[in-house]
């Protein structure tokens, strides 16, 4: 009886983890693939990466972006809405402390992944990437709007 109960509970938890994944239609998936191809095209044109270099660079850059986003999301979740003008001394001190912690995380990620990416594409191209990043993101958002990804 105890074994059955354990199996039942474990099945509940496993199934919940399975259903937590994002599911999109085939059409949406194709739009995202098109967006990936657009990004590849922009980076290769601006930074002059070969096919092999891009295949090694893309996973690293994606991993770096995800980790950075995760740290910012956790900070935003804790402090949303961010209204520094309304904070008391204690709260402001706590906010500064968390900001310092976030920036330390950003610095660590930058140090680690700048070295990894530099090993793949070189330090000069890494600097070009830093300079081109803002334009790249804006172009990606425009392309996503053009493809109609926001429509579910």
Residues found near another protein in the complex (CB under 8 A): 1, 5, 9, 12-13, 15-17, 19-20, 22, 32, 35, 39, 61-66, 68-69, 72, 75-76, 80-82, 84, 99, 103, 106-107, 110, 113-114, 117, 126, 129-130, 133-134, 137-138, 140-141, 144-145, 149-150
**To the nearest whole angstrom, how small is the minimum distance from the Cβ of residue 44 to another protein?**
15
- Quote the least distance from Cβ 50 to another protein, whole Å: 20
Q: In whole angstroms, what is the distance from residue 5 CA to residue 126 CA?
A: 55
CB closer to another protein, 13 vs 52: 13
């Amino acid at each position: 009886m105890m074994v059955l109960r354990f199996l039942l509970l474990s099945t509940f938890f496993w199934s919940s983890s399975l259903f937590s994944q994002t599911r999109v239609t085939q059409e949406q998936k194709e739009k995202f693939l098109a967006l990936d191809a657009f990004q590849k095209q922009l980076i290769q044109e601006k930074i002059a990466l070969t096919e092999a270099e891009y295949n090694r660079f893309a996973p690293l850059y994606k991993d770096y972006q995800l980790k950075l986003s995760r740290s910012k999301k956790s900070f935003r979740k804790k402090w949303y809405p961010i209204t520094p003008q309304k904070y008391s001394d204690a709260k402001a001190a706590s906010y500064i402390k968390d900001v310092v912690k976030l920036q330390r995380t950003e610095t660590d990620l930058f140090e680690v992944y700048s070295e990894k990416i530099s090993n793949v594409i070189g330090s000069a191209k890494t600097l070009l990437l830093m300079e081109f990043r803002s334009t790249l993101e804006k172009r990606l958002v425009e392309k996503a709007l053009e493809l109609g990804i926001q429509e579910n």
